[in-house]
């Protein structure tokens, strides 16, 4: 392997260049990880629930992104006005529309509405993407109407591929499904209009 300006690079110098390169190949990534890890939160801290800051500036209405927190996938969904209306439409068909029976964490006070989101950003849903039946990850089924494995009057939401549990666009489980409870809503806050911190709010870390 040759350096364009300096000719051949010996083994020790090549290792240093890979370790300090911003855009290395597979070998570069393998070398960089231990170096960068000293600046990142420890594995123990992440497992304990270190807060995660997420940039949602490119999250368009109707789209969703998934991030990791406490080793679990967390959805951030930017709901459209139509999707918000579908939340209202779903309410009579839900097992626990008011989220009175939490799964593994209490519902934050600021999310105690049918939308299960902060009043000042009610279109943004932040939910732990772990089915409350056996821990599978549901899939997005945002399209309304009849489709495979869903009722003809489907309002849009999420379907668990393992045993067929369904959730609305606020992560609330429908009646008569294997899943006994709604999806968890973690504590979170907006650091700015486009930055969400998951695992921390005004009261401190979760």
68-77 b/e (C-beta count within 10 Å ≥ 16 → b): ebbebebbbb
61/147 same-domain check: yes
What count of other Cβ atoms lies within 10 Å of the Cβ of residue 50? Answer: 17
61/7 same-domain check: no
pTM reported for the whole predicted model: 0.76
72/173 same-domain check: yes
54/121 same-domain check: yes
- Torsions phi, psi for 54 (to 5 deg): -125, 130
pLDDT in tens, the chain (206 residues): 444 444 444 444 333 333 333 333 333 333 333 333 333 445 554 555 689 999 999 999 999 999 999 999 999 999 999 999 999 999 999 999 999 999 999 999 999 999 999 999 999 999 999 999 999 999 999 999 999 999 999 999 999 999 999 999 999 999 999 999 999 999 999 999 999 999 999 988 87
Length of the chain: 206
Cα 142 from Cα 158, distance rounded (Å): 7
114/23 same-domain check: no
11/98 same-domain check: no
Residue-range definition of the domain harbouring residue 20: 2-40
10/67 same-domain check: no
72/17 same-domain check: no
* Amino acid 18: pLDDT: 32
33/60 same-domain check: no
CA 69 → CA 12, 85, 157, 193, distances in Å?
37, 29, 22, 20
Torsion of CA 172, 176, 177, 180, to 10 degrees: 60
Token digits for 95?
């097992």
83/36 same-domain check: no
Q: Looking at the 3D structure of the chain, how many domains does it have?
A: 2
* Amino acid 30: pLDDT: 34
33/98 same-domain check: no
102/185 same-domain check: yes
- Torsions phi, psi for 191 (to 5 deg): -75, -25
Cα 180 from Cα 134, distance rounded (Å): 10
CA 56 → CA 38, 128, 141, 197, 199, distances in Å?
27, 17, 21, 11, 16
Q: What CATH number does the domain containing 150 carry?
A: 2.102.10.10
Token digits for 101?
């029976």
């Amino acid at each position: 392997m040759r350096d364009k300006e300096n000719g051949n690079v010996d083994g020790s110098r090549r290792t240093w260049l890979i370790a300090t390169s911003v855009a290395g190949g597979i070998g570069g990534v393998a070398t960089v990880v231990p170096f960068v890890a000293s600046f990142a939160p420890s594995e123990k801290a992440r497992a304990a629930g270190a807060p995660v800051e997420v940039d949602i500036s490119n999250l368009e209405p109707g789209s969703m992104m998934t991030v990791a927190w406490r080793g679990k996938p967390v959805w951030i969904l930017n709901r459209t006005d139509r999707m918000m209306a579908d939340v209202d439409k779903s309410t009579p068909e839900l097992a626990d529309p008011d989220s009175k029976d939490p799964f593994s964490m209490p519902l934050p006070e600021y999310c105690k509405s049918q939308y299960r989101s902060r009043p000042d950003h009610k279109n943004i849903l932040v939910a732990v993407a772990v089915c409350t039946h056996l821990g599978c990850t549901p899939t997005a089924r945002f399209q309304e109407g009849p489709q495979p494995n869903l009722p003809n009057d489907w309002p849009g939401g999420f379907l668990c591929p393992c045993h067929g549990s369904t959730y609305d666009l606020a992560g609330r489980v429908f009646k008569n499904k294997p899943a006994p409870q709604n999806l968890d809503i973690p504590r979170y806050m907006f650091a700015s209009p486009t930055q969400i911190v998951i695992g921390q709010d005004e009261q401190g870390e979760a």
